[in-house]
Structure formats: structure tokens, C-alpha cells
Amino acid sequence: MNVYEKSDIAIVPKKAANKEGFSSAERLEGRAVLKWNVQHPAAVRTQSRVAASIRLLAVRRAAQSNKNLKFTALMHHIDVQLLQECYYKLKRNAAPGIDGQSWASYGEKLDERLILLHKEIHQGSYRARPARRVHIPKADGSQRPLSILCIEDKIVQQAVVEVLQAIYETDFMGFSYGFRPGRGQHDALDALQAALYRKQVNWILDADIRKFLEPSS
């Protein structure tokens, strides 16, 4: 694999440090077990995932109960436990980025790497690496460009998704299926089929935005 091939720069927006306080739901940090987790990673892996999920569940409940609530202190939710959880959510067989690091090879020193990654995130020194650009063939003979991220960037992006998802998932309509947890295109097709059989439908529109992912990724 040539790690020096042409790549696209991945841009990560800068974020000022959160200084304001928050409600009791936001303060559920559970950081006391982190030191013990590093020494006993296998024994606490399941507990870590549960702890991270519980903290974000509190955020979700706060967002659901008060639609006007402004969340101003969210960075502390991105801790070592959440980063670990996000690592295990990644695809094991995904192609590596420009660093050549696979899911398995990164996991050989997982705790050490996640602690360092967590430190870089909260110190503001974390920088996303360029994405490796590849092209995959399409049915019409053309090629679709695809950007492959380094595994650390995938972990960080997934962590941000987990936090924001806890807030905004409560605002989506029930008929929304795109890029939502536990939902997919097959669920949307099932819902469409049920609607066609149960309701009077006069129009079905099939729309496709040309090169939608290229400028947005």
C-alpha cells in the first residue's frame, strides 16, 4: 500500500473549550474508574461500554424533556471509555487509511493509544490526517470516489456522533430513516410497502442527487 499517494485533506472544525456548567444529567461523568480500566482492560470492557451509554442516556433524556435546552458542556463526554466503545463499533475488515493502520493492528496497544488520543483531543492538539482517496467502479462504467480515513479519525468522528446523536435523535420524525441508529434502507422500504397497501397513494417520486457525497465528504 502506498501511503504517499494523493489524498484529500480532512477538515475538523475547531471548538472552544466549554466553560459553562450544566444540569445534573450532564455531570454524570464516571471518570473514577478510568485508571483501573487501563490496568484491567479486558475485565472492564463491558462495564465501560455500559457506563458510557448511561451517561449519554442522561443527555438524551435531558434533550427529550426540554427541547429548548442549550447544551454548552459536552466535550467531557468524549473520554477514554467512549473512545474505546467507538473503536469496537468500527468495521474490523475496513481498509486502512494513509497510515496503513488496520483495526487489529491499532488494537494491539489500544489502551495506550486511546489515552494519548484522549489527551490530544482535550488539549486541542489533535489533528485529523488526510483521507486516502480511492475510486470504485459503478454500474454505468464510471467511478465513484471514496475517501478512507485513518482509524483514529474514525474513532473521534464516531465519538462526536455518539454525543450529538444523544441530543438530536429525539428531534427526528418517525418516518425518517437515513443515517439513524438501528434504521436503514430496508426499514424505509418496509414502511413504504406498508403505506402503499394501507393508504391511497397517487405519486411515487424517485430522486437522486448527482455527486451528493463528493462535496460533502
Cell, residue 86:
467507538
The whole-angstrom distance between residue 151's C-alpha and the CA centroid of its chain comes to 12
Model pTM above 0.85: no
- DSSP code of 175? T
Q: What is the pLDDT of residues 106-152, one digit of tens each?
A: 999 999 999 999 999 999 999 999 999 999 998 888 888 889 999 99
Match 496503513 to its residue by C-alpha cell.
100
Domain ranges of the chain: 7-174
**201 or 120, which is more confident:** 120
Exposure letters 163-200 (e unless 16+ CB within 10 A, then b) = bebbbeeeeeeeeebeeeeeeeeeeeeeeeeeeeeeee
